Each structure stands twice: as structure tokens, then as C-alpha cells.
Structure 1
């Protein structure tokens, strides 16, 4: 099982809420079962955090509650 994203092979995507801007945005990648790689879009060659999928899901649900109502 792959646990560390190969930065050259990963396809990163930004939130649809980023409006295409480059400031203050995170990117995530798919294809890592049980893990969500997350990186700073302003530093694409920097490190990626590997967040457990369950924790990422809980985070996204809470963001939707707090910010989107």
C-alpha cells in the first residue's frame, strides 16, 4: 500500500471554493486508500500532510457546519 505521495505522480486538486486563486488554499489528492494527502498550494514542492481519511471526513463535515450553515 502506498503511504507517501510521489509529488511527481500525484494529481492535486483545490477546493471549488478557492475561486481559482493561489492565496491561502490547500490542495488534496485522491488515490491513497485510508489517507488524504494535503499540501499548501503556495508551496507545491513542499511537504504533504497525510491525514487519516476518517479525520479528514470529520474535519470537512465540521467546516460545512461552521462556515456554510
Structure 2
């Protein structure tokens, strides 16, 4: 048995760039979401400090 075994053909997968958003857009989106969340939390904190109509976990008192 001096013959070599045939090798498998491994197909290189081609990654499709159109599968999602580019990394630069993702970075901008993360920044915008972070700033939006930060603004929401500060507004919620202002409401808790000044208004007094919500309890400690942010729910309205009845």
C-alpha cells in the first residue's frame, strides 16, 4: 500500500460583509444608546429627587 490516501477538499467559507452593519456604524449606535440610557437615568433620578411621586424602584405610588 504505497498509495497515499486522497485528501479531503476543505472549502474555505466566504464571509458575507452584507450580513450586518459595519463596525463603525455599530460603534456610533452603541454610543448613542449609551448616551440615551444615561439621559434617561438622570431624568429618572431628577424625578425621584424633586417630585416624590415615585418609590425607590421607579414605580408610581398609588
Please state which band the TM-score falls in when normalised by the shorter chain. Answer: 0.3 to 0.5
Q: Which has the higher contact order (CA 8 A, sep 6+)?
A: 1
Normalization by structure 1: what TM-score?
0.30
Which structure is higher in helix share?
Answer: 2
Which structure is higher in strand share?
Answer: 1
